[in-house]
Chains A and B, each alone.
Chain A
């Protein structure tokens, strides 16, 4: 399969008052067409910055190295005009908090239609009709009435459907969903994930799910990549990663997913220790201080991402051969 987005050796560095922080460190990653890739990591692991860099959304104090190839165009360092032809049209992005992702003063219909007017040059009348059809596809009841409403009149789940619909207006070939369910109820979470799954099937688009919650993405992802301290520490087919994790960090994350079956644990499983501060430079394995399997070599030499039977992992002592 051809790749939809290829990220090569991407690094993102933020500089503020002479303090420099490397949020993303030399990450290479690719997403196949129509594939669902889940990018998992703790807060501060750089998973959001990675794709914000590709979309040109980083603030001014960020500097980016590396490449992000999409349709033969390098998105890193591309002109705004070139980025705007891609953003919203071919790559759409949806954000964590649907409460703030819609402009409060504009009607739902206007915000949906605007995307189509901008990219496809359609008339407002056509775009408005398309917006109505989109709300219907997003399983929002009374779409015609909703079009005329303002964001504050909708519930959180409904707004996230609108935000997803807004992303899908131009039929993008890649949708980046940054924690799409983090601020929603668990029941609504399930519906939104289901909606993302069906939309992806219908449009045949690639989907990148960014999440800190392995449990949320487990059911949807074809492939999982795990990030820790700005680097990818493991990637592989979803089933393999979940059943037979290679990296101790992934294993710990899986251990922390609460289970409904079986006896109730006396304590919730947690990871001990803190993630490293982003301004630290790692000559060794960044996970070593928290790792139960860490040995002298882990504290001396940084492991490279290497191929194993089940996938890729950056660990000196992987859990599987």
Chain B
């Protein structure tokens, strides 16, 4: 474990990416305190204002006069929260499902894996549209839809790992000591999965953020007055010629954040020496 930490910190790109990502997270939390503007106040005197214009519109305003700095940070916070929460949920479900399928094996495994294949065959966009038409649009629906998809890959990876761990002698030794399957899965199998799970979870956060942004861009995700990076980019896309900063500010936040999270995940994978899933 210490070796892994040392290897991670020896990787300069990963460390820099981690620093930038943490910087963005920190900024999204404390940034709005330093700016007098609120994300939902309209400044009619400065509509679609350039960055650096008066009234502390550091990143400018959108075409309703809302301050882009605070709105982008709010959007970043929402995107990060969705990413973290959804990947936590996907880790919990995926690890539980995958470990059970892999450990029990046989027919149980067969049926559980077929269910995963059916779910991963669902076209996501149709699925989301279908659900929103029935239940109505809300953050929770978005969340449920992302959650329904994100854990599938996790479960597959965990199952594969569990299959190989199950063959190891310490599992046999635990069975010979009279340990029940649930105890073996929880105490002897899951701790062995942690390396893979941590790496994949880190890599799944940016994936989920991207997915959420994509859905929000299409208008299926986060709804006004709330904003995520994806919906901000969607707003800006319409003003690209007249006021490009409305697109560029949240867009670059999104791009930098995703890049840094991916680089962190790669660095972590190299450090923990996990094969690519």
B170 on the A face (CB < 8 A): yes
Stretch among A8-16, A82-90, A249-257 lining the B interface: A82-90
By a CB distance below 8 angstroms, the chain B residues around A154 are none
User: Given A100-B169, A102-B170: A114 and B175 within 8 A (CB)?
Assistant: no
Q: Is the CB of A166 within 8 A of B177?
A: yes
Docked-complex contact A104 and B172, CB < 8 angstroms: no
Kindly provide the distance from the CB of A275 to the nearest chain B CB, expressed in whole angstroms: 24
B251 to chain A, nearest CB (A): 42
Q: Is B7 an interface residue (CB 8 A)?
A: no
A86: chain B residues within 8 A (beta carbon): 178
Closest to B171 in A: A103
Per the 8 Å Cβ criterion, residues 158-206 of B in contact with A are 168-170, 172-181, 183, 187-188, 191-192, 194
Q: How far is the CA of A114 from the CA of B170 in the complex (A)?
A: 14
Q: Which B residues are in CB contact (< 8 Å) with A56?
A: 175
Give A303 Cβ to nearest chain B Cβ, in Å: 34
- Chain B count of residues within 8 A CB distance of the other chain: 21
Is A64 at the interface (CB under 8 A from chain B)?
Answer: no
Q: Does any Cβ of B come within 8 Å of A115's Cβ?
A: yes
What's the count of A-B pairs with C-beta under 8 Å? 74
In the assembled complex, the CB of A311 is this many whole angstroms from the nearest CB of chain B, namely: 30
Smallest Cβ-Cβ distance to A100: which chain B residue: B169
B191:A87 contact, CB within 8 angstroms: no
B178–A84 touching, CB < 8 Å: yes
List B contacts of A119 (CB < 8 A).
178
A275 to B192, CA, bound (A): 38
**Which parts of A73-122 form the interface with B (CB within 8 Å)?**
80, 83-89, 92-97, 100-106, 114-115, 118-119
Q: Indicate if B106 sits at the interface (CB-CB under 8 A).
A: yes
B32 within 8 A of A: no
Indicate the size class of the contact surface on chain A.
20 to 34
* CB atoms of B192 and A84 under 8 A apart: no
Which of B170, B178, B183, B188 is in CB contact (< 8 Å) with A87? B178
Q: Verify if A57 is at the interface (C-beta below 8 Å from B).
A: yes
Residues in A neighbouring B106, C-beta threshold 8 A: 60
Interface contact A103-B188, CB-CB below 8 Å: yes
Q: Are B192 and A114 in contact (CB under 8 A)?
A: no
Please report the C-alpha to C-alpha distance between residue A56 and residue B106 in the assembled complex, in whole angstroms. 16
Contact status A100-B170, CB under 8 Å: yes
CB-nearest residue of chain A relative to B188? A103
Residues of B with C-beta under 8 A to A95: 169, 172-173, 176
CA distance A60 to B172 in the complex (A): 13
| Interface SS majority for chain B | helix
Chain B: CB-nearest residue to A90: B178
Inside 8 A of B178's CB, which chain A residues have their CB? 83-89, 115, 118-119
Q: Is the CB of A103 within 8 A of B170?
A: yes
Chain A's nearest CB lies how many Å from the CB of B2?
Answer: 12
Q: How far is the CA of A163 from the CA of B174 in the complex (A)?
A: 11
In Å, the complex CA distance between A100 and B173 comes to 9
Q: B177 touches which one: A85, A92, A96, A100 (CB < 8 A)? A: A92
A55 contacts the other chain (CB 8 A):
yes
Is residue B96 within 8 Å, beta carbon to beta carbon, of the partner chain?
no
**Is B51 on the interface with A (CB-CB < 8 A)?**
no
Question: What's the least CB distance linking A88 to chain B, in Å?
Answer: 3
Cβ-defined contact, A101 with B179, below 8 A: no
**Cβ contact within 8 Å between B174 and A92:** no
B residues less than 8 Å from A115 (CB atoms): 177-178
Rounded to whole angstroms, the CA-CA distance of A83 and B177 in the bound complex is: 10
Are B105 and A60 in contact (CB-based, < 8 A)?
yes
Minimal beta-carbon separation of A130 from chain B (angstroms)? 15
Residues of B106-148 at the interface with A, using a CB-CB cut-off of 8 Å, are 106
A84 to B169, CA, bound (A): 18
Residues of A that sit less than 8 Å from B by CB: 55-57, 60, 80, 83-89, 92-97, 100-106, 114-115, 118-119, 163, 166-167
Would you mind naming 17 contact pairs between A and B with Cβ atoms under 8 Å apart? A57-B172, A57-B175, A80-B181, A84-B179, A87-B176, A88-B176, A92-B177, A95-B176, A100-B169, A100-B170, A101-B172, A102-B170, A104-B192, A105-B194, A114-B177, A114-B187, A115-B178
For the complex of A and B, 8 pairs with smallest distance between CB atoms: A88-B178, A105-B191, A88-B177, A87-B178, A93-B176, A100-B169, A84-B178, A101-B173
Sample of 12 further A-B pairs with CB below 8 A, known A87-B175, A115-B177? A56-B175, A80-B180, A83-B178, A84-B178, A87-B176, A95-B173, A95-B176, A101-B173, A104-B192, A105-B191, A106-B187, A115-B178
